[in-house]
Structure 1
Amino acid sequence: MSGIELALGSGFTDGDNKLDAYATKLKESNSGSDVMNNLSKETLDQGKKILLKMYICFKAMKMGFKKELRPFIELDGTFLKGKANRHVLVAVGQDKMKYYYPLACAIVD
């Protein structure tokens, strides 16, 4: 099965299984931020959650990009190894001093 398996209910046991709860807490505590997670619908009927994709962009990062950064976005990524077998992508911008500024991150297939 592809994706990161999440246990239903509040009994999360290891780090990977906390992603769904983390996304929920981010949505509650950061209004105006974009937090999206895509769960496999086929496995929900079997009592499991499989996280396929996740995207996070905080409101403060969006506002900082609009105010101070150059209108240019770079994308970088790396591989997750082990059970997850996914990619982590990060969108970054640059300020006037050419320092990198993270804008958003995603876990994808």
Structure 2
Amino acid sequence: MPEELPHPSLAEIRIERVLHALADPVRLHMVRELATLSEGVACGSIELPVSKSTRTHHLRTLREAGVVSVRPSGTARITSLRRADLDALYPGLLEGILNAPH
């Protein structure tokens, strides 16, 4: 069973880390996919052109920046976008990034 992973609290989320996490095209794709879902998804369910270890690295970067939350569920890890937290801290930032042309 997967263990609980550390996440930054709302007070610990910093804009520099959020922007760094969202600057990578693979991580931005992951966030865009998560934003279309009403619930979290298993880590591997988002189609990405990267290896499993690279996917893990990208998810860790997003989690440590406070962009996503990852929780254990059985033998899987469920990833969700921390939209409410990001909107509370940086109003309009996530919406602007999600609506930017790509």
**Which protein shows a greater Rg?**
1
Q: Which of the two has greater strand per residue?
A: 1
Q: Which of the two has greater helix per residue?
A: 2
